[in-house]
Chain A
């Protein structure tokens, strides 16, 4: 019987899935994910699809805010750029799906470079202000540049086709969105382990020390904006395809705040935290609904005032997380894992 998980090589130490058990769990999870939409039906599939798209977006802002420490309230604007680029490339330029999505993500990433510029001189609240200003500019351009974006009327996005298959129902989208999300997660997880990721964390923890150690602040800050916006563009593009008709109303300023809330709840500076946060925020209303169904008979207020309770629960969740678990669901997850690992001994 093995008494612990000892590594004998650097490769084993760096592996993402370290033990046989984790690999087995992952395999089981993948099988579960493949059969999920058949068991769950279209509505739950829709919720999971949205959560997966939100996960990609949350990964983006986590890279920028959670790993590099650059607080941004412009993430919603990047998502809007991604969505509109996809819509315009597909509807007007006639790009096929496989070309439109990466191109749109790239366009968003380049716009991220532009916003990243000022971040070299601005920090903290000042950067927040710059990114908010950027959101307003994007909103304004989308509404005013009618020849390109159709203004406030919004524009339709053609159905994507892969190998002649039209992706036009929730299940088909599921098999499109989930693999892309998995790839996005894998890429982010790996990126964080490289020189780039370490440089970002160094900048987050103390930019002066990072510079003293030889980290090129300008380069890595701008890279962070680039990668973060690329993710936002990807999320926006998928969202546009999935919702089929986009308008400025889809991308209010509060969207950026929602994404920030996701990583606060999920866990800043953690890849898994982005998943937890996105899932939590998209699924919370469902959870409350189940609670209302179960406890509705003893607490009729839950049913009568369901809508108000839902809004309050969301606010309460954010406040409670900030007070009791600043590391988010991810932090709680790690603590729970450690607890069971050492159970029944607390050391």
Chain B
């Protein structure tokens, strides 16, 4: 009887503990002289070449802003946590950054990571700039989630538009190559629906895993299909493997790569094989002669005089930081989460000096821009050069 009584008392007290209020709300991450921004990113894992430089981008932009006196008298402090591109670690970092570091803005490391945090982001009302460019990050509308560029879907749509409307190919035969993951499937859905819009059908689809070193099977199969264009939704390694093996089998086609392959490395690694490559990108190159890029180069070289040219993902970091800064400036000295979101949603045609297209948000859509450029390799310069101006899909 005594045991039962103890148990009952214990259960009742535990149930009562449930009802105690969780922490009182305050303007998290903002003090009189600082604004904290939390980043969960890959510093030691599989996509460090992309996310590592992106993180440098945030850091250097905010350092530049701090050196100019900060934002409305406050300095920006960037807190970085490593998640090795793993979802559970990113969720852990989210909690740490939010509850321990008390950050004002959060930047998660990928599509799966952001999706796993949807409910938490909504509940905690934390402004989030996701690294993922998947359309379903922002459609349907999520008040606290923003993306800093055009989406993966926009990139695919623009490829079709370029082939049909700019190159004027009447009945192009288009194949699709991607890994068998959500990243590949997102592209596949966009490719089939855009093809349908133009009254086309994909000639074939091939599966090529990310990080692959061999694509001869896929090249053989493409050789049988003989497509005019191949949409390549891959990462750098597998794209280079695809280009090389296609050249080995003297496959005559044009490979159209997206955001994650459209960087100067593809020319440097692919060599002659990259001649058959075209790429779609939201961000300009380090070498481009435009005012925005001059600021990027001068500032970065000021802090790190011996640094090698940074990649496009560095530019994404830079632009993300620029958008956050603009939102913070507009929200004024007495900002809170809601006024920050409202001021972000009021950004219209923010000019990055050509680092990316004009940036606008609206209270309905949190996609920064639709502008993209098409790039092609330049063997003499050993890098990609733009062949179009900013285009909308």
Measuring CB to CB, which residues of chain A are less than 8 angstroms from any residue of chain B?
34, 38, 41-43, 46-47, 50, 143, 151-154, 156, 163, 165, 168-172, 175, 243-247, 249-250, 306-308, 310-311
Cβ contact of B82, chosen from A156, A247, A250, A307, cutoff 8 A: A307
Q: How far is the CA of A170 from the CA of B94 in the complex (A)?
A: 13
Q: How far is the CA of A153 from the CA of B7 in the complex (A)?
A: 43
With a CB–CB cut-off of 8 A, which chain B residues contact A47? 92
The stretch that binds A, out of B179-187, B230-238, B273-281, B306-314, is: B179-187
With a CB–CB cut-off of 8 A, which chain B residues contact A34? 13-14, 17
Q: How far is the CA of A210 from the CA of B271 in the complex (A)?
A: 64
Shortest distance from the beta carbon of B172 to any chain A beta carbon, whole Å: 28
Report if B23 contacts A (CB, 8 A): yes
Contact (Cβ within 8 A) A151 B185: yes
Contact (Cβ within 8 A) A308 B44: yes
Give the 10 A-B residue pairs with the shortest CB-CB distance, closest first: A307-B82, A152-B182, A307-B43, A43-B99, A42-B99, A245-B116, A46-B95, A249-B112, A307-B44, A43-B100
Given known A34-B14, A43-B96, A151-B185, contact A245–B88 (CB-CB < 8 A): no
With a CB–CB cut-off of 8 A, which chain B residues contact A152? 180-182, 185
Shortest distance from the beta carbon of A60 to any chain B beta carbon, whole Å: 18
Cβ contact of B88, chosen from A50, A171, A175, cutoff 8 A: A50
Q: How far is the CA of A107 from the CA of B349 in the complex (A)?
A: 55
Contact (Cβ within 8 A) B22 A169: yes
Report if B304 contacts A (CB, 8 A): no
With a CB–CB cut-off of 8 A, which chain B residues contact A143? 180-181
Measuring CB to CB, which residues of chain B are less than 8 angstroms from any residue of chain A?
13-15, 17-18, 20, 22-23, 43-44, 82, 84, 87-88, 91-92, 95-96, 98-100, 112, 115-120, 123, 180-182, 185
Given known A151-B185, A152-B181, A247-B87, contact A43–B116 (CB-CB < 8 A): no
Given known A43-B100, A152-B185, A175-B18, contact A247–B112 (CB-CB < 8 A): yes
Given known A42-B23, A169-B22, contact A244–B116 (CB-CB < 8 A): yes
| New contact pairs (5) apart from A41-B100, A152-B182, CB-CB < 8 Å | A152-B181, A168-B123, A170-B95, A244-B120, A247-B182
With a CB–CB cut-off of 8 A, which chain B residues contact A43? 95-96, 98-100
With a CB–CB cut-off of 8 A, which chain B residues contact A175? 14, 17-18
Q: How far is the CA of A43 from the CA of B23 in the complex (A)?
A: 12
Contact (Cβ within 8 A) A50 B92: yes
Chief secondary structure at chain A's binding surface: helix
Contact (Cβ within 8 A) A171 B14: no
With a CB–CB cut-off of 8 A, which chain B residues contact A171? 17-18, 22
Shortest distance from the beta carbon of B13 to any chain A beta carbon, whole Å: 8
Q: How far is the CA of A43 from the CA of B98 in the complex (A)?
A: 8
Cβ contact of B119, chosen from A163, A165, A172, A245, cutoff 8 A: A245
With a CB–CB cut-off of 8 A, which chain B residues contact A169? 22
Contact (Cβ within 8 A) A165 B18: yes
Q: Which interface residue of B18, B23, B98, B119 has the most chain A CB atoms within 10 A?
A: B18
Contact (Cβ within 8 A) B23 A154: no
With a CB–CB cut-off of 8 A, which chain A residues contact B92? 46-47, 50
With a CB–CB cut-off of 8 A, which chain B residues contact A168? 123
Shortest distance from the beta carbon of A305 to any chain B beta carbon, whole Å: 10
With a CB–CB cut-off of 8 A, which chain B residues contact A165? 15, 18
Contact (Cβ within 8 A) B18 A172: yes
Chain A residue at minimal CB-CB distance from B185: A152
Q: Which interface residue of A152, A172, A175 has the most chain B CB atoms within 10 A?
A: A152
Q: How far is the CA of A42 from the CA of B180 in the complex (A)?
A: 37
Shortest distance from the beta carbon of A190 to any chain B beta carbon, whole Å: 18
With a CB–CB cut-off of 8 A, which chain B residues contact A154? 112, 115-116, 182
With a CB–CB cut-off of 8 A, which chain A residues contact B116? 154, 243-247, 250
Shortest distance from the beta carbon of B120 to any chain A beta carbon, whole Å: 8
Shortest distance from the beta carbon of B6 to any chain A beta carbon, whole Å: 11
Contact (Cβ within 8 A) B14 A245: no
Q: How far is the CA of A247 from the CA of B114 in the complex (A)?
A: 12
- 17 sampled A-B residue pairs with Cβ under 8 A: A34-B14, A42-B95, A43-B95, A43-B98, A50-B88, A143-B180, A153-B185, A156-B119, A163-B15, A165-B15, A168-B123, A175-B18, A243-B88, A247-B116, A306-B82, A310-B82, A311-B84
Q: How far is the CA of A169 from the CA of B14 in the complex (A)?
A: 15
Q: How far is the CA of A169 from the CA of B22 in the complex (A)?
A: 9
Contact (Cβ within 8 A) B118 A245: yes
Chain B residue at minimal CB-CB distance from A42: B99
Q: How far is the CA of A38 from the CA of B88 in the complex (A)?
A: 24
Q: Which interface residue of A151, A168, A244, A245 has the most chain B CB atoms within 10 A?
A: A245
Q: How far is the CA of A191 from the CA of B84 in the complex (A)?
A: 38
With a CB–CB cut-off of 8 A, which chain A residues contact B115? 154, 245, 247
Contact (Cβ within 8 A) B87 A249: yes
With a CB–CB cut-off of 8 A, which chain A residues contact B180? 143, 152
Given known A244-B116, A245-B116, A308-B44, contact A41–B181 (CB-CB < 8 A): no
Contact (Cβ within 8 A) B44 A311: yes
Q: How far is the CA of A42 from the CA of B18 in the complex (A)?
A: 14
With a CB–CB cut-off of 8 A, which chain A residues contact B17? 34, 38, 171, 175
With a CB–CB cut-off of 8 A, which chain B residues contact A243? 87-88, 91, 116
Q: How far is the CA of A34 from the CA of B20 in the complex (A)?
A: 14
Shortest distance from the beta carbon of B264 to any chain A beta carbon, whole Å: 26
Q: How far is the CA of A171 from the CA of B82 in the complex (A)?
A: 25
Chain A residue at minimal CB-CB distance from B43: A307
Chain A residue at minimal CB-CB distance from B101: A43
Chain B residue at minimal CB-CB distance from A242: B91
With a CB–CB cut-off of 8 A, which chain B residues contact A244? 116, 119-120
Shortest distance from the beta carbon of B311 to any chain A beta carbon, whole Å: 20
With a CB–CB cut-off of 8 A, which chain B residues contact A172? 18
Chain A residue at minimal CB-CB distance from B19: A165
With a CB–CB cut-off of 8 A, which chain A residues contact B44? 307-308, 310-311
Q: How far is the CA of A89 from the CA of B390 in the complex (A)?
A: 48
With a CB–CB cut-off of 8 A, which chain A residues contact B118? 156, 245
With a CB–CB cut-off of 8 A, which chain B residues contact A245? 115-119
Chain B residue at minimal CB-CB distance from A159: B119
Shortest distance from the beta carbon of B256 to any chain A beta carbon, whole Å: 23
Cβ contact of A153, chosen from B84, B123, B182, cutoff 8 A: B182
Shortest distance from the beta carbon of B351 to any chain A beta carbon, whole Å: 35
Shortest distance from the beta carbon of A283 to any chain B beta carbon, whole Å: 11
With a CB–CB cut-off of 8 A, which chain B residues contact A41? 23, 99-100
Q: How far is the CA of A168 from the CA of B122 in the complex (A)?
A: 13
Chain B residue at minimal CB-CB distance from A153: B182
With a CB–CB cut-off of 8 A, which chain A residues contact B117? 245
